[in-house]
Structure 1
C-alpha cells in the first residue's frame, strides 16, 4: 500500500535544499532528539509519525531536529515508554493503552468521542499530560491520529440476532487489552496474539477474527483472510507522542515552543489525513470482496455503547482519581 502525505513530500524538498545551509550551523546551536515508534516503519501509523518528525525538522532548521531511529526492532513496543522514562531514548510514539496497568487513564482516549483539538480546548489533554507525567514519568506532547475507529473483523460470516445485532458467541477473536471486556460482553473469546503472528494465525484459521482499525488492515495483508467487517466502528486510536522529562527541560525555550506548536498543528493534520485514508481504504477493501455488515438503529447504538462503556468501566474499576473529569472531557456523559 502506498501512503501519500502531501506535507511529507513538501518537507522532503525543503530539507534537501536546506541541507547545505544546515551544515554551517554550529552543533551547539541545535537541539537533537532521537525518536522511535511502536509500529513497523512501513505501517501507516509510523508513516504519520514520520510526518510529524518531518514537520518539526522543517520548522526547526538550526533550532531542533528529530532523528527517527526505528520501530519495535529497537525496543519491544510495550517497553518503549519505560526506555523514554529512563532516558535510553528521547521520544516515542505509540499506544497509551499498552500501559493500562500503570496508567488506567489511557482508557480516556480509547473511550473518547472527541478530537484531540476538542480535548485541548475542554481541558482533557491537560489532565492526560498530568497522568502521563505522574504515572509513566514522561512528558506528553501530542495525541496524534485521532478519529480512527476500531472494527471487529471475521473470517466467516457472523450469525445475526433477531434484534438485528451480531452473534459472536464462541468465536475466537484476536484481541488486546482494550477489547477484552467488550468481546466478552458480546460472547466472543478474546485471544492474545502479537501483531507479527496474526497473519499466520489467520492463514491457519487458529482464530476466527480480529479487532483492528480500518487503517493498516491492508498494510498487514490481513484483509486476505478477514472477509467480513462489522460496522459501526467503536473506540478511538490512543496514539501518544512522549518525551523524556529531563531531555524536554534541556531543550531551549525556542525548541520547546516550536515542538509544542507543531504537535498541536499536526494533531489536526493527522486527523484529516486519516479521515481521507479511511474512506479510500473502505472503498478498496469492498472492491476486493470484503462484506460490511452494518448494524442499524438500536442494535448499532447498543453495540457502540457496550464498547465505550467497557473502557470507562475499566478505568473506574482501576480507581482513577481523574475518572469523572476525564469522562466529561472525552465522553461528555
Structure 2
C-alpha cells in the first residue's frame, strides 16, 4: 500500500495552505487475471474500486493491475499474503491443495449458476466452514463461476467414450479428477495461456464456463461444446492483512461495507449475464452444442461423476480433513436458501 498525493493536496500547497490536516490518499494495488477491457474487470473490480473511492471521499484509491501484470494467476493469493499486491482476485483452484474444503463447492451438482454458487461459497465462509483456510489474508468476498462445460476444437463429444485420451485443460485438481474419471487427459494451465496453447495444438479442448469462452476469446477456436455441468470455479477477492490493519477505523469500515455477500452476489450476477452471452456467441457462429440436463441422474455420466466426487472427498479425509463430507453436505443444503 502506498500513499498518493491528491490534486487537493497539490492545490492546497500551491495556495500556501498547510497540508498536514488534509488526509493523504492510500492507494491499494489490486491484481487479477482478467483483461482490462473485460466486463468482469469493469463491472466487478472497477465498480468495487469506484465504490471504495466514493465512500472514502477519495482517501482510499484503488490501482488495478489486470491480465497478471502484477502477479501471475497461480501466485496471486500469495502476492496478497506477502504484500506484493494489496488486493488480489484469483481462482482457488490455481493453488493445488491450498484450499481443499473450499474446492468442495466445485464438485458436480453443487452449483447451478454463478449467483447461487456465489451465495453458497460466501455462506460457507461467513458461517465458518472454510474460514480457517484464509487465516493469512483478509477476505473481502468470494464468488463462483457458472458451471464449466467441455469445449473441443475438432472432436465432437457426446458421451464419456468420446473423451477418451483427449487432452483437456483443467482449471483445478477437482476438475482434473472429474476429467480423469471421464477418460480425458487433464492438462493444467492458467486461463490466459489457453488461447495460444489451443492454437498450437497443445490441447484438444478445455473446461470453461460460457463466460470465460467469450472473455478469453476461446469461442473463436472451438467448434463443439458439451454442456455437462461437472464443475464450477471458486474465486476469492482478498486483501493483505497488514494493509487492512494499517488503515484507520473509518477506512476499515469502508472496506467492510464493500465486502461479504453483497459483492458476492454482484459478481455472481455479472458472471451469469456473461454465461448467457458466451453461449449465444457460440450459437451465432454455428457451433454444435450438446446438453446433458441432469448428469448426476444420467446413466452414462452419473457413475463417473459420483466416482470422481467420492475420490476427492476420500483424499481430503486421508489428509485429516474429517469434516470434508460434512462441508459437502452443507454446500448441498445451502442450494435451496441460495436459489431464492
TM-score bin (small chain): 0.7 to 0.9
> Shift of residue 104 of structure 1?
1.9
Q: Given the superposition, is the C-alpha separation of residues 103 and 68 from structure 1 closer, same or farther in structure 2, using an over 3 Å criterion?
A: same
Q: Is 1:175 the equivalent of 2:164?
A: no
The 8 Å contact of residues 158 and 290 in structure 2, kept in 1 or not, is answered as no
Match of 1:328 in 2: 329
Corresponding residue for residue 246 of structure 1? 242
* Corresponding residue number in structure 2 for 1:53: 49
If the length of structure 1 is used for normalisation, what is the TM-score?
A: 0.79
Deviations 1:223-250 (A, max 9, x none): 1221111113232231111111122112
Cα offset for 1:267? 1.6
Q: Secondary structure at the match of 1:218?
A: helix
Equivalence map 1:112-151=2 (5 Å): 112-113=110-111, 114-121=116-123, 126-133=128-135, 137-144=136-143, 146-151=144-149
Once the two structures are TM-superposed, the CA of residue 132 in structure 1 deviates from its matched residue by 0.8
- Structure 1 residue 184: Cα displacement: 0.8
Question: How far apart, in 2, do the equivalents of 1:69 and 1:275 lie?
Answer: 24
Q: Is the 8 A contact 1:141 1:242 kept in 2?
A: yes
1:277 to 2:274 alignment: yes
Mapped partners of 1:104, 1:118: distance in 2 = 16
Structure 1 CA distance, aligned partners of 2:189 and 2:61?
A: 36
1:234 pairs, out of 230, 237, 240, with 230
In the alignment, what sits opposite 1:258? 254
Q: Name the SS for the 2:232 alignment partner.
A: coil
| Cα-Cα RMSD | 3.2
How many Å separate the matches in 1 of 2:141 and 2:185?
34
Unaligned runs of 5+ in 2: 1-6, 13-18, 335-340
Q: Which residue of 2 aligns with 1:96?
A: 92
Cα distance in 2 for partners of 1:147, 1:195 equals 13
Match of 1:293 in 2: 290
**1:174 and 1:210 in contact (8 A); partners too:** yes
* 1:11 aligned residue: none
Shift in Å at residue 294 of structure 1?
Answer: 0.9
**How many residues were matched structurally?**
309
8 Å contact kept, 2:145–2:234: no
Asked whether the 8 Å contact 1:119–1:329 carries over to 2, the reply is: no
Residue equivalent to 1:9: none
Separation in 2 of the partners of 1:167 and 1:125? 41
Tell me what 2:316 maps to. 315
Which consecutive residues of structure 1, in runs of 5 or more, have no partner in the other structure?
Answer: 1-18
Separation of aligned partners in 1, 2:235 and 2:146: 10
- On the 8 A contact 1:149/1:236 being kept in 2, the answer is yes
1:72-108 CA-to-partner distances (Å, cap 9, x unmatched) read: 1222222222222122321111111222333322313
What are the superposed Cα offsets for residues 263-319 of structure 1, whole Å, 9 maximum, x if unpaired?
232221222222222112212211111211112453287166456556545534443
The alignment's TM-score, normalised by the length of structure 2, stands at 0.78
Shift of 1:193: 4.1
- Structure 1 residues 231 and 310, CA, compared in 2 at 3 Å: closer, same or farther? farther
Instruction: Supply the distance in 2 between the matched residues of 1:33 and 1:160 (Cα, whole angstroms).
Output: 47
CA distance in 1 between counterparts of 2:138 and 2:33 reads: 17
Q: Identify which range, 267-276 or 112-121, moves more after superposition.
A: 112-121
